[in-house]
Amino acid sequence: MKNALEEIADEVYEQLRARPAGFCACAQCRDDAITRALNKIRPRYISGSPIGSAVTRVALSQRQARAEMSVVMLEAMQVVRTNPRHLSGRGALRAG
């Protein structure tokens, strides 16, 4: 069993990571943003069944699901940017 949104969250993060100016590119900030976004959105679990997995993936590929994840991810990235948990020398801030 797996939350199908984990893959979508990774994809959306990669698409949006340059948008919030000054968002840190370190692994800790990336993980914090993705975790926060996944905790704010209703999970969509899939089992090992090929049919159930295919149906869920089709539903998640629709624009509405990705748009919802994009909004939640941008909010999560803003929170992480404002309150980073990494040590000051650990990750370089991106110019923006």
25 belongs to a structural domain: yes
41 belongs to a structural domain: yes
Could you give the angle at the alpha carbon of 50 between the alpha carbons of 48 and 56, nearest 5°?
90
C-alpha 33/C-alpha 84 separation (Å) is: 10
Whether pTM exceeds 0.85: no
Structurally, the chain folds into a number of domains equal to 1
CB neighbour burial string for 16-36, b if at least 16 within 10 angstroms, e if fewer: bbeebeebbebeebbebbbeb
Could you give the angle at the alpha carbon of 89 between the alpha carbons of 12 and 40, nearest 5°?
30
96 belongs to a structural domain: no
Span 1-19, pLDDT tens digits: 888 788 889 999 999 987 7
Q: Which residue has the higher pLDDT, 65 or 87?
A: 65
91 belongs to a structural domain: no
Span 5-56, pLDDT tens digits: 888 899 999 999 877 777 887 999 999 999 999 999 988 887 776 666 666 6
89 belongs to a structural domain: no
